[in-house]
Amino acid sequence: MDISPAALILCSLLCSVVAQAPVISVEPRVAGVRQGESVSFRCQVASGAQPVQLEWRKVSNQALPDNAKIGPDGSVLTIANARPGNQGQYRCVASNSAGRSSTTAVLNVRYSPKVKVKPAGPLRVRIGDSVSVECRATGRPNPTLTWKRQGSTLQVICLIARLTPSSPIHHLSA
């Protein structure tokens, strides 16, 4: 059976029009959980030539954390017992014979403040002497620090606050 060059071109054009790269979405796009809770993201294929392969990865190209599990068909990513290090962006990548596409989901993990005070108390100071105390606090959302002494708000003479997400520090001189 002879096939004309025109028929081959037509078939090639029809095959390339029919074959479409995957179009995907992820739900939820953003999720916030408390430390210790679980969350699942679902990657849904809206259209595209079958078969479509799904893959999850961190946007930073790091390996998925050990508490991340992917469902049997690859569409669901579950983070169990979330911890602060799980926070970040996760990418669902879909690929087929016609191409690939990706979309991202964002995980925010909230956790209770952890506070470190230097020097550790209790402190004994003579009346009229000054004292300096440093307080470091981490947590999500970023904690608000208030200085109190026996339940009463302190009169602060000097407060140096260097608050950054990685190193929130309050330095108190009173």
CATH code of 21-110, in short, is 2.60.40.10
Contacts of 99 (CB under 8 A, 6+ apart): 21, 22
* Residue pair 48/94 in contact by the 8 Å Cβ criterion: yes
Would you kindly state where each structural domain of the chain is located, as residue ranges? Answer: 21-110, 119-173
| pTM score above 0.75 | no
* Residue pair 87/109 in contact by the 8 Å Cβ criterion: yes
Average pLDDT, integer, range 76-100: 96
Asked whether the predicted pLDDT for residue 13 surpasses 50, the reply is: no
Q: Average per-residue pLDDT in the chain?
A: 83
pLDDT category of residue 11 using cuts at 50, 70 and 90 = very low
Within the chain, where are the H helices?
5-18
Tokens describing residue 170 = 């309050």
Tokens describing residue 51 = 């078969």
